[in-house]
Amino acid sequence: MRDLRPWRRRRLRCSLKLVVARIVVLGGGTGGTLAANRLRRQFGDHAEITVVDQDDRHIYQPGLLFVPFGLAHADEIVRPRSRQLHDGIAFRRCAIDRVEITDNTVHLADGTILPYDVLVVATGATLVPEETEGLTGPGWIEKVFTFYSLEGAAALADALAAFDGGRLVVNVIDMPIKCPVAPLEFCFLADWYFHERGIRDRVQITYVTPLDGAFTKPVASRQLSGMLAEKGIDLITEFNTGEVDGVGGRLVGYDGREVSFDVAVVVPLHGGADYIGRSPGLGDELNFVPTDEHTLQCKVAPNVFVIGDAANVPASKAGSVTHFEGETVVENVRRHLAGEPLVDGFDGHANCFIETGFHKALLIDFNYDTEPLPGHYPSAVGLPLLKESRLNHLGKLMFQWFYWHSLLPGRDIPGVGSSMPTAGKHPVDATPAGKD
Ligand SMILES: Cc1cc2nc3c(=O)[nH]c(=O)nc-3n(C[C@H](O)[C@H](O)[C@H](O)COP(=O)(O)OP(=O)(O)OC[C@H]3O[C@@H](n4cnc5c(N)ncnc54)[C@H](O)[C@@H]3O)c2cc1C
């Protein structure tokens, strides 16, 4: 297993060739903030660290799930970005116009040019609802909503409160999306919410996904499909939405199938940040950055490292993944500046609490090579994996505290390493039901 601890203990100062390295971090969200804070601790005054973001509103995005159900208020999940950064880190509030990787400069929208020795790209994934025909047309934020933005989640809270029966459709337009379990959690919470209001029998809930099951990984998918069925939530798979007709209340698939709704909750297409498309050679066709999946070094520029949703690595786009990547990114920035070989430190580790309603949640833990399995996390004794429990629900609620006080400051969470633990996991047959 990759153990990063000895590197952390090693002092940088003796091996660093540059006296003061200029490190620019693009994006002050989950990855940019935790990377900048870890870099500051690693380098002290031996690096000049600048974080750039277009606004000063850091949203705790997992909290967006709770807003539509009145379980959190929009104000409670937002804090100023600049206040999450350690002393000694400069914060520039400005949109990024482009990066020129050939001359190591970042060009800001106000005309400022920031030269860098090392660049850390942490500009995440962006919603592009306008890419789907009709989605932002008539009916948008009236009958068609998303909880993937703060404004959308708040508007949906009002719409759900006024909803007293009919067809509620939850639709993922296409992958990749941030937190692929969040739309499923939305379905489970909707089931709970309408039960609480005493109108569950008047609401038909349907989950419409482009995947061939409820989730991407077979064992978890089987379990989650079973839970949808138990809760009376219909599942429509392999549906590729070509058009959203907000006025007529229809999702129209590319294959001609249609799904009717009274209220639709849509997870729009995602892409990388638009400045990546304006930065020659930096991004792929979706504006994500080609990145080595283990070292997190950009494949087109050796002094560029990528953390979080902005990378095109085959890991989930999740805050937990971003957190687990932090250690490798910071260590490899150090090694790059010191002229040492990089370390293959990141194993694709992801873990997610899946809120299932009625004060319970499921926990999944996996990496590039191992799919979510039953057992316990982080070792033989711990939180139950792939099993609903109140303990996991409490874990999900407590995570917000950890996010602001441990994850963003770049501290390690006790007992939770960055590589996926194998102790406590039980291998099972991953063959999908009905297949050899
Ligand atoms: C509804 C929802 C629920 C979620 N639930 C969970 C969960 O339960 N568990 C989990 O692990 N993850 C969850 N996530 C995912 C998690 O929030 C993200 O994966 C994580 O925040 C990614 O961090 P990041 O740093 O890559 O991107 P972000 O935190 O999104 O930060 C990107 C930053 O880049 C800035 N930026 C972008 N473009 C520009 C530009 N041109 N100029 C200047 N600044 C720019 C943005 O303003 C933003 O601050 C959820 C996400 C959503 C939407």
| Topology of domain 129-269, CATH | FAD/NAD(P)-binding domain (3.50.50)
pLDDT tens-digit series, residues 326-338: 999 999 999 999 9
Mean pLDDT estimate for the chain = 93
Give the pLDDT of residue 422. 83
Query: What pLDDT score was predicted for residue 435?
Result: 39
Q: Is the CB of 392 under 6 A from ligand 1?
A: no
Q: Is any atom of ligand 1 closer than 6 Å to the C-beta of 306?
A: no
CA distances from 163 to 150, 160, 334 (A): 20, 5, 54
Cβ of 155 closer than 6 Å to ligand 1, yes or no, is no
Q: Tell me the domain boundaries of the chain.
A: 5-126+271-338, 129-269
- Which stretches of the chain score pLDDT less than 70? 1-19, 429-436
pLDDT for 118-169, tens place per residue?
999 999 999 999 999 999 999 999 999 999 999 999 999 999 999 999 999 9
Q: At how many degrees (to 10) do helices 319-338 and 30-43 cross?
A: 40
Tokens 């994850």 belong to residue: 407
**With a 6 A CB cut-off, is 183 part of the ligand 1 pocket?**
no
Q: How far is the CA of 123 from the centre of ligand 1 (A)?
A: 8
What secondary structure, in 3-state letters, does the chain show? CCCCHHHHHCCCCCCCCCCCEEEEEECCCHHHHHHHHHHHHHHHHHEEEEEEECCCEEECHHHHHCHHHCCCCHHHHEEECHHHCCCCCEEEECCEEEEECCCCEEEECCCCEEECCEEEECCCEEECHHHCECCCCCCECCCEECCCCHHHHHHHHHHHHHCCCEEEEEEECCCCCECCCHHHHHHHHHHHHHHHCCCHHHEEEEEECCCCCCCCCHHHHHHHHHHHHHCCCEEECCCCEEEEECCCCEEEECCCCEEECCEEEEECCEEECHHHHCCCCCCCCCCCECECCCCCEECCCCCEEECHHHECCCCCECHHHHHHHHHHHHHHHHHHHHCCCCCCCCCCCEEEEEEEECCEEEEEEECCCCCCCCEEEECCCEEEECCCEHHHHHHHHHHHHHHHHHHCCCCCCCCCCCCCCCCCECCCCCCCCCCC
Any ligand 1 atom below 6 A from CB of 310 = yes
91 and 108 Cβ atoms separated by less than 8 Å: no
Q: For residue range 78-133, what is the model confidence (pLDDT) as tens digits?
A: 999 999 999 999 999 999 999 999 999 999 999 999 999 999 999 999 999 999 99
Contact 62 CB / ligand 1 (< 6 Å)? yes
Nearest CA to ligand 1 atom 20: 319
Residue at 71: amino acid letter? L
Q: How far is the CA of 436 from the centre of ligand 1 (A)?
A: 39
For a pocket test of ligand 1, which of 50, 51, 53 has the largest count of ligand atoms closer than 8 A to its C-beta? 53
Ligand 1 centroid to residue 29 C-alpha, Å: 6
Residue type, position 410, single letter: G
Please state the atom number of ligand 1 nearest to the C-alpha of residue 32: 25
Q: Residue 27, Cα to own-chain centre: how many angstroms?
A: 14
Indicate if ligand 1 lies below 6 Å from the C-beta of 326.
Answer: no
273 within ligand 1 shell (Cβ under 6 A): yes
Q: How far does the centroid of ligand 1 lie from the alpha carbon of residue 269, in Å? A: 14
What's the pLDDT score for residue 381? 83
The answer, yes or no, to whether any atom of ligand 1 lies below 6 A from the CB of 152, is no
Q: What is the pLDDT of residue 429?
A: 64
- CA proximity to 59, closest of 37, 74, 38: 74
Q: Is 84 in the pocket of ligand 1 (CB under 6 A)?
A: no
What is the model's pLDDT at position 325?
97
In ligand 1, the atom with minimum distance to the C-alpha of 350 is: 11
Ligand 1 close to Cβ of residue 178 (< 6 A): yes
25 near 116, Cβ under 8 Å?
no
Measured from the CB, is residue 40 less than 6 Å from ligand 1?
no
Q: Is it true that 5-126+271-338 and 129-269 share their CATH fold?
A: yes
Give distance in angstroms: CA of 336 to centre of ligand 1.
Answer: 26
Q: 5-126+271-338: which CATH topology?
A: FAD/NAD(P)-binding domain (3.50.50)
Minimum-distance ligand 1 atom for the alpha carbon of 61: 17
In order of 37, 106, 176, the CA distances from 228 in angstroms are 40, 47, 22
The alpha-carbon radius of gyration of the chain (Å, integer) is 22
Distance in Å, CA 124 to ligand 1 centroid: 5
